[in-house]
Protein backbone atom coordinates (compact mmCIF):
# COMPACT_ATOMS: atom_id res chain seq x y z
CA UNK A 1 0.00 0.00 0.00
CA UNK A 2 1.02 3.58 -0.57
CA UNK A 3 0.58 6.72 1.52
CA UNK A 4 1.31 10.41 0.99
CA UNK A 5 2.12 13.13 3.51
CA UNK A 6 1.92 16.76 2.56
CA UNK A 7 3.81 18.52 5.27
CA UNK A 8 2.12 21.91 5.05
CA UNK A 9 -1.63 22.40 5.06
CA UNK A 10 -1.34 26.09 4.15
CA UNK A 11 1.43 28.09 2.49
CA UNK A 12 1.08 31.87 2.15
CA UNK A 13 3.56 33.54 -0.18
CA UNK A 14 3.94 36.97 -1.73
CA UNK A 15 3.47 37.43 -5.46
CA UNK A 16 6.67 36.89 -7.50
CA UNK A 17 8.33 35.05 -4.61
CA UNK A 18 9.48 31.42 -4.95
CA UNK A 19 7.51 28.61 -3.37
CA UNK A 20 8.06 24.98 -2.43
CA UNK A 21 5.25 22.61 -1.49
CA UNK A 22 6.52 19.51 0.26
CA UNK A 23 5.43 15.93 -0.31
CA UNK A 24 6.72 12.68 1.16
CA UNK A 25 5.45 9.25 0.24
CA UNK A 26 5.64 5.70 1.51
CA UNK A 27 5.44 2.58 -0.63
CA UNK A 28 6.73 -0.98 -0.65
CA UNK A 29 6.80 -1.02 -4.46
CA UNK A 30 8.03 1.31 -7.17
CA UNK A 31 5.71 4.21 -7.79
CA UNK A 32 4.56 6.91 -10.13
CA UNK A 33 4.24 10.37 -8.57
CA UNK A 34 1.92 13.24 -9.43
CA UNK A 35 0.98 16.78 -8.52
CA UNK A 36 -2.56 17.99 -9.17
CA UNK A 37 -4.06 21.46 -8.77
CA UNK A 38 -7.65 22.17 -7.80
CA UNK A 39 -9.15 25.62 -8.27
CA UNK A 40 -12.28 26.52 -6.29
CA UNK A 41 -15.35 24.54 -7.32
CA UNK A 42 -13.44 22.62 -9.96
CA UNK A 43 -12.03 19.14 -10.48
CA UNK A 44 -8.38 18.15 -10.50
CA UNK A 45 -5.90 19.21 -13.18
CA UNK A 46 -2.61 17.37 -13.62
CA UNK A 47 0.39 19.70 -13.13
CA UNK A 48 3.15 17.17 -13.68
CA UNK A 49 4.10 13.54 -13.24
CA UNK A 50 7.14 11.38 -12.61
CA UNK A 51 7.07 7.98 -14.28
CA UNK A 52 10.75 7.18 -14.78
CA UNK A 53 13.98 8.69 -16.06
CA UNK A 54 15.09 12.20 -15.13
CA UNK A 55 14.30 13.01 -11.53
CA UNK A 56 13.57 16.67 -12.34
CA UNK A 57 10.16 16.95 -13.90
CA UNK A 58 8.77 20.07 -15.52
CA UNK A 59 5.05 20.69 -15.69
CA UNK A 60 2.53 23.27 -16.74
CA UNK A 61 2.33 26.87 -15.50
CA UNK A 62 6.05 27.00 -14.69
CA UNK A 63 5.97 24.34 -11.97
CA UNK A 64 8.62 21.67 -11.52
CA UNK A 65 9.22 18.85 -9.05
CA UNK A 66 12.16 16.69 -8.09
CA UNK A 67 11.89 13.00 -7.28
CA UNK A 68 14.26 11.98 -4.48
CA UNK A 69 14.10 8.23 -3.98
CA UNK A 70 16.40 8.10 -0.94
CA UNK A 71 14.30 10.68 0.90
CA UNK A 72 11.01 9.41 -0.60
CA UNK A 73 10.10 12.97 -1.50
CA UNK A 74 8.57 14.73 -4.48
CA UNK A 75 8.55 18.46 -3.66
CA UNK A 76 6.86 20.94 -5.99
CA UNK A 77 8.56 24.27 -6.77
CA UNK A 78 7.93 27.43 -8.71
CA UNK A 79 10.52 30.23 -8.91
CA UNK A 80 7.99 33.08 -9.09
CA UNK A 81 4.31 32.72 -8.21
CA UNK A 82 1.35 34.69 -9.51
CA UNK A 83 -1.98 35.54 -7.95
CA UNK A 84 -3.57 33.02 -10.31
CA UNK A 85 -1.58 30.20 -8.66
CA UNK A 86 -3.80 30.48 -5.57
CA UNK A 87 -5.38 27.03 -5.31
CA UNK A 88 -5.25 23.67 -3.53
CA UNK A 89 -2.38 21.40 -4.53
CA UNK A 90 -2.44 17.64 -4.11
CA UNK A 91 0.45 15.22 -4.26
CA UNK A 92 -0.51 11.69 -5.34
CA UNK A 93 1.15 8.32 -5.79
CA UNK A 94 0.26 5.10 -7.53
CA UNK A 95 1.99 1.78 -7.87
CA UNK A 96 3.75 1.58 -11.23
CA UNK A 97 1.96 -1.55 -12.38
CA UNK A 98 -1.21 -1.51 -14.41
CA UNK A 99 -4.16 0.74 -13.90
CA UNK A 100 -3.76 1.23 -10.15
CA UNK A 101 -5.68 3.92 -8.26
CA UNK A 102 -4.21 7.18 -7.08
CA UNK A 103 -3.51 7.74 -3.39
CA UNK A 104 -3.66 11.43 -2.50
CA UNK A 105 -2.27 13.55 0.27
CA UNK A 106 -4.53 15.90 2.21
CA UNK A 107 -3.54 18.88 0.12
CA UNK A 108 -1.71 22.17 0.56
CA UNK A 109 -3.54 25.44 0.21
CA UNK A 110 -1.31 27.93 -1.61
CA UNK A 111 -2.34 31.53 -1.06
CA UNK A 112 -0.52 34.14 -3.13
CA UNK A 113 -0.58 37.60 -1.59
CA UNK A 114 -0.38 40.74 -3.73
Partner 1 sequence: ETGVTQSPTHLIKTRGQQVTLRCSSQSGHNTVSWYQQALGQGPQFIFQYYREEENGRGNFPPRFSGLQFPNYSSELNVNALELDDSALYLCASSSIAGSYNEQFFGPGTRLTVL
The separation between the first and the last C-alpha atoms of the chain, rounded to the nearest angstrom, is: 41
Alpha-carbon span 30 to 33, nearest angstrom: 10
Helix (H, G, I), strand (E, B) or coil at 99: coil
Task: Mark the segment that binds partner 1 (CB under 8 A) among 13-21, 65-73, 77-85, 99-107.
Answer: 99-107
In the bound state with partner 1, the residue whose beta carbon lies nearer, of 73 and 108, is: 108
Q: How far is the CB of 112 from partner 1 (least distance, A)?
A: 20
Residues that bind partner 1 (CB under 8 A): 4, 32, 36, 41-46, 49, 51, 90, 92, 96-107
Amino acid sequence: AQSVTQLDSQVPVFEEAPVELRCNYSSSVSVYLFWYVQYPNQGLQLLLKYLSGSTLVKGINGFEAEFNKSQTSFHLRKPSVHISDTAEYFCAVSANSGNTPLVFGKGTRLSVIA
